[in-house]
Amino acid sequence: VKGICRDISKDNCVVSAAIFNTPEQIVISGHSTAVEKAIARAKEDGAKRAVKLSVSVPCHCCLLDKVAEAFKANLNQVELSDCKIPVIPNCDPKLFHSKDNIRELLVRQINSPVRWQETIEKMTTMGVDTIVEIGPKRILSGLIRKIDRNIRVLNVEDAGSLEKTVEFFIKGKG
């Protein structure tokens, strides 16, 4: 995928890998015409599936550099504290606790690729065995199962599922 993106990208027409979801699923982002060319090329090269997603913004790529800079300027006006719990940023799956790192990594999450697979792998090395996905559609749950089937994934998308999840933690894992 990186090679296809590199071959297609030109100064005025950019496409790049934006989200590394699983070993088999990588999302690309960039100018619409470049994305379409990359999809066609991926299909020619034997991709099992290559589809254009219906999104309005080319997320997690250099086309958002100006947005990241504007966000950084605004974020610099905000007083931050060190994290009280471990946080794993999706652009660099390492733990961080420093308010200085938080600022930098929040900005990088706008225009850097999401390393979802590495994020989940980092969590497993930390001993995480249960993840709660909050929101509809269970997309992340499916991705997590493709990365590591041993992780228990709970979903909260309405009052009923919230109640079940709370009950799970109150009664204890198992």
Residues 143 and 117 in one domain: no
In a domain, 51, yes or no: no
In the predicted model, what is the mean pLDDT of residues 119-145? 94
- Find the angle CA(3)-CA(9)-CA(12) to the nearest 5 degrees: 170
- Look at residue 127 and tell me whether its pLDDT is greater than 80: yes
Q: How many structural domains are present in the chain?
A: 3
Residues 170 and 144 in one domain: yes
Q: Compute the half-sphere exposure of residue 167: CA atoms within 13 Å on the CB side of its CA.
A: 8
The label of the residue with tokens 């071959």 reads 7
Residues 120 and 136 in one domain: no
Give the predicted TM-score (pTM) of the model.
Answer: 0.88
Residues 35, 30: Cα–Cα separation, whole Å: 6
Strand partners, 10: 13
Given this model, what pLDDT does residue 97 score? 67
Residues 69 and 112 in one domain: yes
